[in-house]
Amino acid sequence: MDQNSKLSATDPTCTNRRSFLKTGALVTAPLAAVAIPAAALAADDGSRAKLARLEDERAIEGLRRFVLRKINGDASADCGEFVASADAIELDAGLRSIADDPVEEPALALSEDGARATCRNSCRVEVETALTGNTTLERMARFQGQGSHRSSEKRLLLTDYVKRDGEWKLAHLRLA
């Protein structure tokens, strides 16, 4: 099995579970950051900038959770609405789900210019491995009805974001 396939949102040959991550017409972005006039920012005492930052953080966190929901569930989802490029999502073909660590908060870092952001957070991933080989144990496992194996492991979810036309997009998602 290809353990390191790079998911492409536009690859029509992609047959793994995340083939739903196809690009398409952009939909109304629920995650758009609120545009704040530069003059207003310059004029105030910094609270507007803080507010903008908070709103960016909230939008990015919303986007991050939205992406995970799409990866984990909706097979008909269109990833074109939230990715910045067709190869933004890089996941193993056998990956089946990603669940945030319930205790650890994601660590988000915004760039100085407010146009880029990175996020790291602990997560637990579920991986499915197909048992396709011809060793006796694999044959016996298939005989028992176990054609694949699911396991979960703790990983680090690394995501990058970019703001385009006032909307945050997922630039890159990978597991470490």
User: What is the contact surface with another protein in residues (CB under 8 A)?
Assistant: 127, 129, 131, 133-141, 143-146, 148-151
13 or 136, CB closer to another protein?
136
Q: Which amino acid is at 126?
A: E
CB of 127 to another protein, least distance (A): 7
> What residue has token string 């991933």?
125
Q: Give the angle 140-126-76 at the CA atoms, nearest 5°.
A: 105
Residues in the chain: 176
127 or 157, CB closer to another protein?
127
94 or 106, CB closer to another protein?
94
Phi-psi region of 46 (alpha: psi -120 to 50; beta: other; left: phi over 0): left
CB of 131 to another protein, least distance (A): 5
Residues 6+ apart with CB under 8 A from 71: 18, 21, 89, 91, 95, 97, 98
CB of 125 to another protein, least distance (A): 13
CB of 175 to another protein, least distance (A): 16
72 or 152, CB closer to another protein?
152
